[in-house]
A and B are shown apart, each in its own frame.
Chain A
Amino acid sequence: MRERIDIAVLSRRTFIIAGAAAAGLAPFIARADEPAPADTFTQSQDFKQDFARIVGSAKPIEGKVSVDLPETADNGNFVPITIMVDSPMTEADHVKAIHILSTENPHAHVATFRLSPVNAVARVQSRMRLAKTQDVIVLAELSGGEVLMSTTRVKVLIGGCGI
């Protein structure tokens, strides 16, 4: 009789412990099965520093910057990029600078373009290198101090060798 009670107590305790352990592990197991979330691409330390230096205390606003980059770049040495900022380009309201930053190139800063109202249209076009699949961040500094931002993911098939 006494022995049976002991077994019952033990088995109940074991059940509770096992249950708790399973419950605790469950989220991890479930997470491992899911596809990686879209924002798992890393950002280099160099990128973070450049980004912080350009943005300063401003809060980057999404929109008004359209960036034309290929979805898939066959050759990372030669990726065409066109940037267009929706701006009246007047003395009171114009784009002062456009920055291209790469999140995972060995050197994050790709280029900075400095504009003024004489340009009339805030549009620039160039060709850039991408070492591997990553995000390209374009920041536009406005005369009023605001910073606009655009993020474009580019899949790179053959990385720009030795960027």
Chain B
Amino acid sequence: MAATGPRIKLPDTIKAGDVIEVKTLIRHVMETGNRHDKNGKPIPRDIINTFIAKFDGQQVFHAEFGPGISANPYLAFQLRIPGPGTIEITWIDDEGVSVTATSPVMIS
């Protein structure tokens, strides 16, 4: 199952130099590979294994997930915002399919 509905949540107001929490969420089954279907056939593993966060093209955070991360993975991390720019989050699954979402950072 492909990942859908990627979301990035930032604070309503951000000033240059602020350390903010970047909250992210995506819909994905995160199938562990340890389950069996009704006929006893193993259900193959299908998880998001990589999470990459960039600010204006520069990597600022990276995560590797195992099957122990819950379905619809939620992840929040901290980031110092130097000024206006764009936050770009990419999720990559076991099949190598990636989903990217972006969110502009407005400075108030």
Contact assessment for A77 and B77 in the assembled complex, using a CB-CB cutoff below 8 Å: no
Q: Which of A23-31, A104-112, A150-158 contacts B (4 or more CB under 8 A)?
A: A104-112
Q: Which residues of B contact A112 (CB under 8 A)?
A: 63-64
B residues with a Cβ closer than 8 A to A are 19, 21, 32, 34-36, 55, 60-71, 73-80
Q: Pick the contact of A78: B19, B34, B70, B80 (CB < 8 A).
A: B70
Closest Cβ–Cβ distance, residue B97 to chain A (whole Å): 20
Q: Is A15 an interface residue (CB 8 A)?
A: no
Contact assessment for B68 and A129 in the assembled complex, using a CB-CB cutoff below 8 Å: yes
Sample 5 A-B pairs with CB under 8 A, ordered by A number. A126-B76, A127-B74, A129-B70, A130-B68, A163-B68
Contact assessment for B63 and A163 in the assembled complex, using a CB-CB cutoff below 8 Å: no
Q: Is A115 an interface residue (CB 8 A)?
A: yes
Q: How far is the CA of A153 from the CA of B22 in the complex (A)?
A: 28
Contact assessment for A162 and B68 in the assembled complex, using a CB-CB cutoff below 8 Å: no
Q: Pick the contact of B73: A105, A113, A126 (CB < 8 A).
A: A126
Contact assessment for B78 and A120 in the assembled complex, using a CB-CB cutoff below 8 Å: yes
Q: Is A69 an interface residue (CB 8 A)?
A: no
Contact assessment for A120 and B74 in the assembled complex, using a CB-CB cutoff below 8 Å: no
Q: How far is the CA of A19 from the CA of B8 in the complex (A)?
A: 73
Closest Cβ–Cβ distance, residue A131 to chain B (whole Å): 9
Q: Pick the contact of A107: B61, B62, B66, B78 (CB < 8 A).
A: B66
Q: How far is the CA of A112 from the CA of B65 in the complex (A)?
A: 7
Q: How far is the CA of A113 from the CA of B69 in the complex (A)?
A: 12
Q: Which residues of A contact B61 (CB under 8 A)?
A: 113-115, 119
Contact of A127 with B70 at beta-carbon distance under 8 Å, contacts A118-B55, A120-B19 already known: yes
Q: Which residues of B contact A121 (CB under 8 A)?
A: 19, 78
Q: Pick the contact of B67: A116, A122, A125, A163 (CB < 8 A).
A: A163
Contact assessment for A113 and B77 in the assembled complex, using a CB-CB cutoff below 8 Å: yes
Q: Which residues of B contact A120 (CB under 8 A)?
A: 19, 78-80
Contact assessment for A118 and B70 in the assembled complex, using a CB-CB cutoff below 8 Å: no
Contact assessment for A127 and B68 in the assembled complex, using a CB-CB cutoff below 8 Å: no
Q: How far is the CA of A108 from the CA of B67 in the complex (A)?
A: 9
Contact assessment for A105 and B68 in the assembled complex, using a CB-CB cutoff below 8 Å: yes
Q: Pick the contact of A127: B55, B63, B69 (CB < 8 A).
A: B69
Q: Which residues of A contact B62 (CB under 8 A)?
A: 113-114
Closest Cβ–Cβ distance, residue A105 to chain B (whole Å): 5
Contact assessment for A107 and B68 in the assembled complex, using a CB-CB cutoff below 8 Å: yes
Q: Is A100 an interface residue (CB 8 A)?
A: yes
Contact assessment for B78 and A161 in the assembled complex, using a CB-CB cutoff below 8 Å: no
Q: How far is the CA of A119 from the CA of B59 in the complex (A)?
A: 11
